[in-house]
């Protein structure tokens, strides 16, 4: 029996909602547009030649999607997700943009509500879907490839108009969530210590240094986030006991460098790595497309969410701990 047609409604057509709508339209999966601003809903609906509505209730009266993407402001995620599941209890899957909720407790409450339904929920931590992250996981999973990771540096830096700051929140929830999720998957487990400091703009952390280390001091992970950087930087540098792995999430290029060669302990021919010392390897893939494919497979019942509600909650624990560290000016202890 062939798969049912994929029909996805997009609720909220700001920056990410529009990106979702545009890609879904190209794939032939866009069902309808919902935006509380009728003029915006009409403009986007007409652009993609799909029905548009100013409320979920009106959309449900006319359409029957089997998937919904929620791309409204973060503070309304729980309310909108609750409305969707109430109006469409048989919906196959939801994709909720990041972060899943404004707070850990609200995310836990939403998890409790959604757990009563068979709906699969994907959280929009889009960078997890970057093929560079997949390749890093493969390299780290091979014994003695870079040795034991000891120090990791994430950099996510760019420029944002000051007028947007209030609507997108601080750097932790706005951009930090992406790297927090990657780090939780690859490096951060068990009891950890967290310390953060930040420069604020309009009362919100606008650039930050955040360090997470194991209680046993076996590793440390540093996050540099900024919205006052004249350029765009998305990198991960992993220092292992045998080699250093450098990854650029924008150019999707990885480079591995032997620590023993750098120290002068061995020559190039004496060490085995998957590509030559200092050679750059290119991987290819569009993160948003990979995210949509995972969502579509969830609708079809062929996959589980790569980024689950639990992942969303764990990331929010780091967001809240970072804020608490700034408030107290002290180290925060966490169990991940």
Partners of residue 52 on adjacent β-strands: 33
Residue spans of the domains in the chain: they are 8-124, 128-285+317-335
| The predicted structure's pLDDT at residue 1 | 36
- Average pLDDT per consecutive 10 residues, the chain (336 residues; last block may be shorter): 80 95 97 97 97 97 97 96 97 97 98 97 97 93 82 96 85 96 94 96 94 90 96 96 93 88 65 50 87 98 97 98 97 93
**pLDDT, tens digit, 9 for 90 and up, residues 60-69:** 999 999 999 9
Q: Which 3 state secondary structure label does DSSP give 249?
A: coil
**pLDDT, tens digit, 9 for 90 and up, residues 34-43:** 999 999 999 9
| The predicted structure's pLDDT at residue 262 | 81
Q: Which two tokens stand for residue 259?
A: 């620590």
Count of C-beta atoms within a 10 Å radius of residue 141: 9
CATH number of the domain located at residue range(s) 128-285+317-335 in this protein? 3.30.360.10
Q: Name the residue with tokens 């004249």.
A: 230
Q: Which of 299, 305, 289 is nearest to 27 (CA)?
A: 289
Task: Round to whole Å and give the CA distance between 37 and 108.
Answer: 29
Pairing status of strand 191-201 against strand 332-335: antiparallel
C-alpha dihedral, 194 to 199 to 204 to 209, nearest 10°: -30
| The predicted structure's pLDDT at residue 267 | 56
| The predicted structure's pLDDT at residue 280 | 66
Percent of the chain with pLDDT over 70: 94
C-alpha dihedral, 306 to 26 to 9 to 52, nearest 10°: 160
Contact 319, 172 (CB under 8 A): yes
Task: Round to whole Å and give the CA distance between 289 and 20.
Answer: 9
Task: Round to whole Å and give the CA distance between 242 and 121.
Answer: 39
Contact 284, 131 (CB under 8 A): yes
- In this structure, what are the phi and psi dihedrals at residue 250, rounded to the nearest 5 degrees? -85, -50
| The predicted structure's pLDDT at residue 266 | 63
Q: What is the DSSP string of 11-67?
A: E--SHHHHHHHHHHHHHT-EEEEE-SSHHHHHHHHHHHT--EESSHHHHHHH---SE
Please determine, looking at this structure, whether the domain spanning 8-124 carries the CATH number 3.40.50.720. yes
Whether 8-124 shares its CATH topology with 128-285+317-335 is answered: no
Does this model's pTM top 0.75? My answer is yes
């Amino acid at each position: 029996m062939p798969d049912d047609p994929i029909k996805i409604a997009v609720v909220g057509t700001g920056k990410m909602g529009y990106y979702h709508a545009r890609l879904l339209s190209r794939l032939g999966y866009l069902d309808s547009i919902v935006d509380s601003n009728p003029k915006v809903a009409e403009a986007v609906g007409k652009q993609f030649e799909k029905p548009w509505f100013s409320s979920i209730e009106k959309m449900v009266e006319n359409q029957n999607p089997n998937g919904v993407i929620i791309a409204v402001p973060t503070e309304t995620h729980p309310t909108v997700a609750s409305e969707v599941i109430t109006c469409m209890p048989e919906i196959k899957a939801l994709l909720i943009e990041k972060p899943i909720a404004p707070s850990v407790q609200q995310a836990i409450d939403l998890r409790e509500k959604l757990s009563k339904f068979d709906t699969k929920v994907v959280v929009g931590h889009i960078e997890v879907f970057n093929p560079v992250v997949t390749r890093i996981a493969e390299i780290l999973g091979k014994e003695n490839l870079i040795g034991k990771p000891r120090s990791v540096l994430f950099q996510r830096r760019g420029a944002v108009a000051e007028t947007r700051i209030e609507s997108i929140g601080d750097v932790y929830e706005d951009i930090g969530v992406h790297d927090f999720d990657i780090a939780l998957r690859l490096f951060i487990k068990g009891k950890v210590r967290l310390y953060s400091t930040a420069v604020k703009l309009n009362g919100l952390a606008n650039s930050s240094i955040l360090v997470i280390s194991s209680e046993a001091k076996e590793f440390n992970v540093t996050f540099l986030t900024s919205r006052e950087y004249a350029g765009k930087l998305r990198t991960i540098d992993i220092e292992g006991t045998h080699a250093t792995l450098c990854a650029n999430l924008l150019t999707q290029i990885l480079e591995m460098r032997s620590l023993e060669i750098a120290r002068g302990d061995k020559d190039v021919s004496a060490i085995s790595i998957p590509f030559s010392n200092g050679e750059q390897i290119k991987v290819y893939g569009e993160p948003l497309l990979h995210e949509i494919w995972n969502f579509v497979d969830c609708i079809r019942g062929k996959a589980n969410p790569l980024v689950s509600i639990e992942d969303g909650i764990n990331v929010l624990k780091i967001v809240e701990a970072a804020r608490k560290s700034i408030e107290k000016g002290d180290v925060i202890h966490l169990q991940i």
